[in-house]
Amino acid sequence: MPQRRSIARPRIWSALNVRLGDVYVFGGDNGTVPPVAAQTLGDLAAAPSINGLFTEGANVTLAVEEGVNIDGGPVASEVAQDLLIELQDLANAPGALGPFQGKLTAAQRNYLVSKVAIFDQLAADLNQDLGLNGVGQKQVDDAVQRNQQRRDLAEIVAAEIEDIDIVEVLSRLNQDQFAIEASGRALARASQLSLLNFI
């Protein structure tokens, strides 16, 4: 168990303090500071309160396009508070139940069995959150695609305006003006006609 625990520790801390570019993903509106101060089970065991280990800011709402806002995702305490409470309890268990070495006592075994059930539920909850994150990512992807289409259309319109041939436009304008004048003359002649001209 010590080897598994030593592998899990860096995964948990690195996952909670993961960065995308220069921003901590679970940092909320304070993405410049690691959102979880604890780095070891010893840090958890020594902490008087799990809440004091979180340094994240507030949740963020992101505008992905006009009139469409999405939740910027959970902050570290929303994702990991229950997990860290259970890990703190696990880190402090040897003090109450004795060291977990050699043959386990009945109390130690029962304790670990109960913890497995709790960790399974926490994993299920995290998977549900992951699914919600996927929904948000789909909204962002759809908005990016719509914005790309809008940009492409704007570029086409701008190119048509920029690439216009002034000589061709003036030629068409003169032709249209000539056609309108000819129509006007024909209409004027037609309005002057009467049956008296033919009697």
Q: Letter for the amino acid at 41?
A: L
Length in residues, the chain: 199
Per the listing, tokens 């960065």 go with 19
| pTM confidence score | 0.63
Integer Cα distance of 182 and 172 in angstroms: 15
Q: What is the pLDDT of residue 1?
A: 47
Which has the closest alpha carbon to 136: 192, 190, 62, 27? Answer: 62
Residue 72 has pLDDT above 70, yes or no: yes
Q: What is the pLDDT of residue 111?
A: 93
Integer Cα distance of 111 and 117 in angstroms: 10
Distance of CA 32 to the CA centre of its chain: 18
Which residue would you say has higher pLDDT here, 135 or 19? Answer: 19
Where do the structural domains in the chain lie, given as residue ranges?
Answer: 2-159, 168-198
